[in-house]
Amino acid sequence: MFSSFSMSVFEGLAVAFILIVGAVILLVLVLGIIDRTQTEDAIRRNYPVVGRFRYLFSALGEFFRQYFFAMDREELPFNRAQRDWVKHTADGGSSTLAFGSTRNLSIPGTPIFTNAAFPPLDNQFASTEKLVIGPNTRVPYEAKSIFNLSGMSYGAISKPAVQALSKGCAAAGIWMNTGEGGLSPYHLEGDCDIVFQMGTAKFGVRDADGALDDEKLRKVAETPQVKMIEIKLAQGAKPGKGGILPAAKISAEIAEIRGLPKGQDGISPNRHAEVDDWDDLLDFIAHVREVSGLPTGIKTVLGSEAAMAEFFDVIVARGVESAPDFITLDGGEGGTGAAPMPLMDLVGVSIREALPLVTALRNERGLKDRIRVVASGKLVNPGDIAWALCAGADFVTSARGFMFSLGCIQALKCNKNTCPTGITTHDPRFQKGLVPAEKWEHVAAYAKGIVKEVETIAHSVGVPEPRKMRRDHVRIVQPDGTSTPLSVLYPS
* Predicted confidence (pLDDT) per residue in 78-111, tens digit: 656 666 667 667 777 766 655 556 667 778 989 9
- Per-residue pLDDT, 331: 83
SS3 breakdown of the chain: % helix, strand, coil, rounded to 5? 45, 15, 45
pLDDT tens digits for 347-356?
678 899 999 9
Check residue 463 and give its pLDDT: 93
**So what's the pLDDT on residue 85?**
64
Q: Which of 303, 307, 324, 306 is nearest to 315 (CA)?
A: 324
Q: At 339, is the pLDDT very low, low, confident or very high (cuts 50, 70, 90)?
A: low
Q: Beta strand pairing status for 193-198 and 175-177?
A: parallel
Tally DSSP H helices, then E strands, for the chain. 17, 15
Distance of alpha carbon 204 from alpha carbon 199, whole angstroms? 10
> Smallest Cα–Cα separation from 351: which of 309, 404, 393, 312?
393
Percentage, residues of the chain above pLDDT 90: 50
Read off the pLDDT band of 194 (50, 70, 90).
Answer: very high
Give backbone dihedrals phi and psi of 226, rounded to 5 degrees, phi first: -80, 120
Is pLDDT larger for residue 361 or for residue 90?
Answer: 361
What mean pLDDT is predicted for residues 250-270? Answer: 79
Q: What is the pLDDT of residues 289-338, one digit of tens each?
A: 999 999 999 999 998 899 999 999 999 999 999 999 999 999 867 666 55
pLDDT average, residue stretch 253-266? 79
Rounded average pLDDT over 379-405 = 93
Q: What angle do CA 179, 438, 72 make, to 5 degrees?
A: 75
Which is more confident, 384 or 253?
384
The reported pLDDT for the residue numbered 385 is 96
Return the closest-CA partner of residue 299 out of 399, 193, 179: 179
Buried b (16+ CB within 10 A) or exposed e, 130-169: ebebbeebeebbebbbbbbbbbbbbbbbbbbbbbbbbbbb
User: In sequence order, which residues have a C-beta less than 8 Å from that of residue 492 and are 6 or more positions away?
Assistant: 356, 359, 360, 363, 364, 392, 471
Distance separating alpha carbons of residues 481 and 34, to the nearest angstrom: 57
Q: Which pLDDT value is given to residue 193?
A: 97
Rounded to 10 degrees, what is the CA torsion of 26, 28, 29, 34?
130
Segments making up each domain of the chain, as ranges: 2-69, 122-489
**Secondary structure E strands in 233-284:** 244-245, 266-267
CATH superfamily of 122-489: Aldolase class I (3.20.20.70)
Pairing state between β 141-143 and 474-477:
unpaired
Binned at pLDDT 50, 70 and 90, residue 422 comes out as confident
**pLDDT value of residue 479:** 93
For 297, the enclosing helix (H) or strand (E) is: strand 296-301
Q: Higher pLDDT residue, 132 or 17?
A: 132
More confident residue, 216 or 40: 216
Residues 6+ apart with CB under 8 A from 458: 126, 386, 389, 464, 465, 466, 468, 469
Question: Regarding predicted confidence, which is higher, 249 or 59?
Answer: 249
Q: What is the CA radius of gyration of the chain?
A: 26
Say what the pLDDT of residue 416 is. 75
pLDDT at residue 262 is higher than 90: no
The predicted pLDDT at position 57 comes to: 64
Q: What are phi and psi of 121, to 5 degrees?
A: -65, 165
Q: What is the pLDDT of residue 400?
A: 87
Greater model confidence, 44 or 386: 386
Q: How far apart are CA 140 and CA 217, in angstroms?
A: 17
The pLDDT of residue 336 is 62
Q: Measuring CA to CA, how many Å separate 416 from each of 227, 248, 334, 434?
A: 33, 8, 19, 17
Bridge partners, residue 100, by sequence? none
Q: Is the dihedral of CA 438, 441, 447, 453 positive or negative?
A: negative
Residue 341 confidence class, pLDDT cut points 50, 70, 90: low
How many whole angstroms separate alpha carbon 419 and alpha carbon 431?
9
pLDDT at position 98, please?
A: 55
Percent of the chain past pLDDT 70, that is, above it, reads 83
Mean pLDDT of 406-430: 79
CB neighbour list of residue 199: distance below 8 Å, 6 or more residues apart: 179, 180, 181, 232, 242, 243, 268
The answer on pLDDT for 175 being more than 70 is: yes
Residue 80: the pLDDT is 60
